[in-house]
């Protein structure tokens, strides 16, 4: 149940700030105590696309076992030249096109 819905990946350009690579979406988790986190791999992939891993961190505590939608966000200074992003998770992987977003003054 770790597929990311409403997944967007883009290079964000804001005047006066460095270009950033950003990814955002929504993950359905088993209970409210689980936080989804996007993590860059320790060894960079050289296959022609960007790669991130979706990790589900259990924050502990007593939680009702109710499916919960949680936002997930990743931001890295410096854009990416790749055109596609692969998110690797426990149930496989998913791909999304990387767009370009420019903020106007």
Cβ count near 56 (within 10 Å): 17
Q: What is the pLDDT of residues 10-57, one digit of tens each?
A: 999 999 899 999 999 999 999 999 999 999 998 877 778 999 999 999
Give the Cα separation of 38 and 54 in Å (integer): 5
Please give the model's pTM, rounded to 2 decimal places: 0.87
pLDDT for position 95: 94
Name which residue leads in pLDDT, 11 or 91. 11
- Which residue bears the tokens 């007593």? 62
Name the residue ranges covered by the structural domains of the chain: 4-102
Give the Cα separation of 78 and 80 in Å (integer): 7
pLDDT for position 60: 85
Whole-number Cα distances in Å, 81 to 21, 27, 55? 10, 26, 24
Asked if residue 2 has pLDDT above 70, the reply is no
Give the Cα separation of 73 and 44 in Å (integer): 19
Give the Cα separation of 42 and 45 in Å (integer): 9
Q: Tell me what the pLDDT averaged over the chain comes to.
A: 91
């Amino acid at each position: 149940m770790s597929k990311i819905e409403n997944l967007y990946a883009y290079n964000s350009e804001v005047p006066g700030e460095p270009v950033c690579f950003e990814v955002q979406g929504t993950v359905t988790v088993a209970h409210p105590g689980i936080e989804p986190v996007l993590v860059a791999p320790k060894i960079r992939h050289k296959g022609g696309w960007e790669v991130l891993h979706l990790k589900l961190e259990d924050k502990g505590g007593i939680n009702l076992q109710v499916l919960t939608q949680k936002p997930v966000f990743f931001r890295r200074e410096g854009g990416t030249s790749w055109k596609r992003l692969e998110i690797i998770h426990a149930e496989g992987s998913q791909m999304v096109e990387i767009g370009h977003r420019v903020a106007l003054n």
